[in-house]
Each structure stands twice: as structure tokens, then as C-alpha cells.
Amino acid sequence: MSEIKVALITGANRGIGFQIAKTLAKSGFKLLLNDLNPNEESLAELKKLEVEHEFSYGDVSSPAYVEELFALCGEKYGRIDVVVNNAGITRDNLIIRMSEEEFDQVIAVNLKGVFNVMKEAAAKMLKQRSGRIISISSIVGLRGNPGQVNYSASKGAVIAMTKTLAKELASRGILVNAVAPGFIETEMTAVLPEKAITELKGQIPLKKLGSTQDIADIVDFLASDRAGYITGQIISVDGGMNI
Ligand code: NAD
């Protein structure tokens, strides 16, 4: 990799994405961060940490916006080394109650958003003949979960796209991997009732939810020179749930 290392992270305002941003910054990456809207708390924290970054606000499900995002990256840094597909949403419901809108919204962000970003990333990285594309899938994409046909379909598709893209891009030195977190303490899981959390912990061999740092650490490794012989892999970080 070059001396200047640049990472683009989607959905980086809070939760897992924000932790990945701070962790990659510590590893020396300059950052281009995306989310839907500004989050003053995260902006203040980044300012205090003196992390070199720029935020771009927009919806990853829009191909036009994603094109703009990569153009901005080119203008600001002149290269892209690591892209992290982190933006994601849930709209949970049992299938008989799930609306077409709930299905379409999740597919638009979690699947088409990842496609949009992968496509732009591949175009830029092919020219450089180097790069890493890391997508945040989910244990739910591997094993399913009641109430999440939309979400599990999107996360399963991210796994399939990761394997395909790894094969498409390997000969050009571009490595493509995914992380499949189990249940991680963030605002996404904070909506689960206390009873559901207790039941969940009972199913996790390590008997606790994961932290955002647990996910950021594996992304940091996959983004590093130490992971140069790993591609097409789905790395479970789930306290043993996927054994
Ligand atoms: P979160 O809801 O705390 O953060 C997601 C961020 O993505 C938010 O800041 C949100 O504004 C942003 N976002 C949503 N839609 C967007 C869009 N269209 N364009 C740009 N940004 C958008 O979620 P989190 O828990 O930090 O999850 C991050 C990723 O990890 C998601 O892909 C999620 O599916 C995945 N994941 C989370 C868990 C978990 O337990 N928290 C488990 C497995 C996988």
C-alpha cells in the first residue's frame, strides 16, 4: 500500500461505523466518512482526536450520490485504499405482516447500497491495482432470524457478492472480504426488549453481546498489510454463535 492510506466508511456517524472510523484513524488512515445527516457528538469527538477526515452526507442507495462520494474522495485525497460498507438498516416484521415498503427499504440500503459502493470502489481500485473492500454482513445472513426475512436476505446477498467480487478482482490485487457480526451493543440492538437480550445472551457461547470495538478490530486487521493473503472470506465475530 502507498504511504498515504485513505479509507471510506459508510454509515459512520455512530455505532460500529464510528468505531471503525476511530480505529482506522489510529492506524494512520485518512478518512472519508458518509452518513445520512450530521451528528454533532461524533463530529466533536473526531475534532478532539485530531483525525484527518471529511464527512459527506447522502444516501448510499442512490447511485448518483455514491458516484459523487467517490469523486469527492478523488478530489480530496487522490486515491482510495480501503472501503468499508457499513451503512445498514432494519425494518423487522414477521413475513405475513411485512409490507412491501419494509422489504424494499432494507434491500435498497443494505443490498443496493453495497452494490453501488462496490461498483465505484472497484472502478477506482482497478486503476490503482490495489485496494480492500470490506462489508459488514451479519450472522443473520448466515443463519436466518425470525422477523428478518428482508434483513437476512440483504445480508446473505452481501456474503454472495463478497465471494463473487473477490474472484473478479483478485488478479488486480484487490481483496474483498466481509465481517459477520453476531449481536453487538449499538443503537440498532438497543431497540430489543430486555427479555430478548437475556434470551440472546443464553444462546451465545461467550454469554455476552459484542462491542463495536470487537468489529472495528477485525476490520482494522483486514485493512492492514498483515491481511494480504485473505480474500473472499466471511469472518464471524459473534461470541461463538456461528459454531
Ligand atoms: P446503527 O443503526 O447504529 O448505525 C448505522 C448507521 O448507518 C447510522 O448512522 C445510519 O444513519 C447510517 N445509515 C443508514 N442508512 C443509510 C443510508 N442509506 N446511507 C448512508 N448511511 C446510512 O447500526 P450499527 O449497529 O452500528 O450497524 C452497522 C452495520 O453493522 C449495519 O450494516 C448492520 O446491519 C451491521 N450489523 C450490526 C449488528 C448489531 O448487532 N448492531 C449485528 C450484525 C450486523
Distance CA 206, CA 211 (A): 13
Q: What is the pLDDT of residues 124-167, one digit of tens each?
A: 999 999 999 999 999 999 999 999 999 999 999 999 999 999 99
Residue to substitute in 41, 86, 135, 200 for testing ligand 1 pocket (most ligand atoms within 8 angstroms of CB): 86
Statement: residue 1 has pLDDT above 60: no
Statement: residue 116 has pLDDT above 90: yes
pLDDT band at 3 (very low <50, low <70, confident <90, very high): confident
Task: Give this prediction's pTM.
Answer: 0.98
State the chain's mean pLDDT as an integer. Answer: 97
Residue to substitute in 56, 183, 186, 204 for testing ligand 1 pocket (most ligand atoms within 8 angstroms of CB): 186
Please tell me the least confidently modeled range out of 9-23, 24-38, 180-194: 180-194
What's the confidence (pLDDT) of residue 197?
94
Residue 88 near ligand 1, beta carbon < 6 Å: yes
* Distance from Cα 87 to the centre of ligand 1, integer Å: 5
Contacts of 205 (CB under 8 A, 6+ apart): 239, 240, 241, 243
What's the confidence (pLDDT) of residue 10?
99
Strands across the sheet with 234-237, in order? 53-57, 29-35, 5-9, 82-85, 131-136, 174-181, 234-237
* Distance from Cα 116 to the centre of ligand 1, integer Å: 16
Q: What is the pLDDT of residues 213-227, one digit of tens each?
A: 999 999 999 999 999
The CA distances from residue 236 to 127, 133, 139, 140, in Å, are 31, 16, 7, 11
What's the confidence (pLDDT) of residue 188?
86
* Distance from Cα 140 to the centre of ligand 1, integer Å: 14
What's the confidence (pLDDT) of residue 9?
99
Q: What is the pLDDT of residues 43-65, one digit of tens each?
A: 999 999 999 999 999 999 999 99
Residue to substitute in 138, 148, 188, 234 for testing ligand 1 pocket (most ligand atoms within 8 angstroms of CB): 188
pLDDT band at 2 (very low <50, low <70, confident <90, very high): low
pLDDT band at 93 (very low <50, low <70, confident <90, very high): very high
Residue 210 near ligand 1, beta carbon < 6 Å: no
Nearest-atom number in ligand 1 for the CA of 87 is 7
The CA distances from residue 50 to 25, 45, 144, in Å, are 9, 9, 40
Residue 151 annotated in active site: yes
